[in-house]
Structure 1
């Protein structure tokens, strides 16, 4: 499994120019922007890192690379678990970078509220997205696997909009609920994100293992 992780890092650094640009933009924004800008930049970095981590699955499929991988002395389950570990490592990198951005911005001014916890929560949220995308990519391939979660989100949004149009009181209830979410503490938001992380991990790993065990290479 250690060899798989090293392989994925080598694949990740094959696009190191893009990563350098992302980190450079984030550092510049942290030094020049405000707290809101920092939150958006943390989201941007988290998205780019997780997309890059998920891209290793498509790289493995390129020119039947998985056919070779499965001839190595490793179990298919190990391949799946390694992807989850790798995505988690990348999420930790995103969290550490968010902390660095927050510290740099705090050094620049003592009057700016730095949403460091928000950056951590954002990284966990996109890690959960990766956990959902992994079995989908293993099942349907790269393009479809990344599109399905987006489609699900759009469908949920459209259903919510239809319900709101049908029932105005439902809209008020949803807005009141969202207002309550805005008032929860950072620690509570972090605990909710961690709980969602554990649930997503527990549900998706067995699904991914079942998918790859049935897959023919």
Structure 2
């Protein structure tokens, strides 16, 4: 037992809100650093996103390095990087929280993890396109996709309105995620698994 007693952390275990450093050298960005995901925030290892999230943002930092010699472009690129990364950490926190709130029932828990799998597989399918067009990259796990975020919010609302005796209905979640279900999630013949494991074509 810790000498100062047991302590409880809030739902998001760590979140570092980036702040601007004082501009001491003319022509240099006021941002002093650009963090990788785990340095900005960490919620929980449930979906094992650490390596994928890091590699995704290493790609984005390479785009930042392309404009290192242009102070104005560098400032804009770093601001965009920070904003996108903060949105990604927030999205992960929400999806993890949604799943853990359904641990009273295995079927409900499996259903509550589906937004993550829908986002992950959709993100993988979009990656070749987004990386080929650095000017308008997609965020990790569709964190900047308004339609996906609306679907997740609707699922959260349904989950929050149900009790332990009436878990979040699977079909309702499936309907909300239908536009992002690229791999046969919710297929009865393969419950809690991908129906397809390779992209078409």
Report the TM-score range of the alignment, normalised by the length of the smaller protein: 0.3 to 0.5
TM-score by length of 2: 0.34
Q: Which has the higher helix share?
A: 1
TM-score by length of 1: 0.32
Query: Which one scores higher on RCO, CA 8 angstroms, separation ≥ 6?
Result: 1
